[in-house]
Homo-oligomer: A and B are copies of this chain.
């Protein structure tokens, strides 16, 4: 399959790259790195990405920013960033990508949320909002995507991220384990699912 991997240079994206590249052709996308550049928060950049890549079989997104801050310190700009990048950026990957995806084979979109959707912590109001929002969008979009599967992978804290923050990596899940959830969404048959990456530990 020809798979567009958004956020290919990130911690989770690199692990997905390792897990998919032996069997599939990847188009690696990043804001400033990869085969093609795109900025999720800019709708015209997503349209340009699909024009440049041409037909493809799947999109995998491990990208999108959202702001972490105490509730009353979250600014209007923090909410705007979270909505335009992690939420609408990924929504637009589906909306703008559906007319371009090849529908023979096993086409799919796999987006990313996070367990803060259902298990918040102080500081996560904007992130929990966009993670839940992407899951709600996915459940509905999967009904209408007409033979194209749509899923969301929900990762917990990733070990490599915790280690980089000086925290105990054993409190998280290794990126290679999180990547298994993405592979399952791409190669499997599920649709309309929030895939909890912890089930792949």
A contact residues vs B (CB 8 Å cutoff): 43, 70-72, 74, 76, 79, 83, 87-88, 91, 95, 98-99, 116-118, 120-137, 139-141, 143-145
Contact = CB atoms under 8 A, between A and B. Distances in A.
Given A43-B76, A133-B130, A143 B122 contact: yes
Contact of A125 (B117, B132, B140): B140
A125 B98 contact: no
A98 B124 contact: no
A124 B87 CA distance: 16
Contact of A120 (B72, B124, B139): B139
A120 B132 contact: no
Contacts of A145: 71
A4 to B, nearest CB: 19
Nearest to A132: B136
Nearest to A72: B98
A95 B134 CA distance: 22
Among A95, A130, A134, A137: residue with most chain B CB under 10 A? A137
In the A-B complex, the 10 residue pairs with the closest CB atoms: A132-B136, A133-B133, A120-B140, A129-B137, A128-B140, A125-B140, A71-B144, A128-B136, A132-B132, A124-B140
B120 A95 contact: no
B140 A87 contact: no
Given A88-B79, A95-B72, A145-B71, A129 B122 contact: no
Given A71-B145, A128-B136, A129-B136, 19 more contacts: A43-B76, A71-B95, A72-B98, A72-B144, A74-B95, A79-B88, A79-B91, A87-B129, A120-B143, A122-B144, A125-B137, A125-B140, A127-B140, A130-B133, A131-B136, A132-B136, A132-B137, A133-B133, A133-B136
Contacts of A129: 87, 91, 133-134, 136-137, 140
